[in-house]
Amino acid sequence: MEEAGALLNNTVNVSPLTSNMTSEHILEIFGNFGKIRNLKIEDYQMEEGQSRRALVSFESSDSANEAISHLDKGEIDGVVVKVSLDPPSTTSNEPDSTDPLDDIK
């Protein structure tokens, strides 16, 4: 069981994605490695121009690591992708407040 305050990274960053890649396609591919809690596809700016990536959040870090070991440097939609752990600060689902009662007050 996860201890309070423990930070486990269950989110993988998948890039680059082609414009043909849909959330359904990504869920189909990454769902083979474990239950997916959240998926976000976003555009971002690189020196070479605009690119797309997916942030796939698994329920467990084991699933995230398994996806990385099987899919990093693999080909999706004709493009070699990098699959790596996403820094926790980029995908944190934690509220800004540390007081869980703030929502009730």
Question: Mean pLDDT score of the chain, rounded to an integer?
Answer: 82
The CATH number of whichever domain residue 61 belongs to comes to 3.30.70.330
pLDDT tens, position by position, 69-98:
999 999 999 999 999 999 875 444 443 333
Which residues have a Cβ under 8 Å from the Cβ of 73 and sit 6 or more positions away?
80, 81, 82, 83
pLDDT tens, position by position, 32-71:
999 999 999 999 877 777 789 999 999 999 999 999 999 9
Residue 72 belongs to a domain:
yes
Report pTM.
Answer: 0.74
**First-to-final CA distance of the chain:** 30
Cis peptide before 16 (omega within 30 of 0): yes
**Domain residues for 79?**
11-86
Residue 53 belongs to a domain:
yes
pLDDT at 105: 35
Average pLDDT rounded to a whole number, residues 24-34? 98
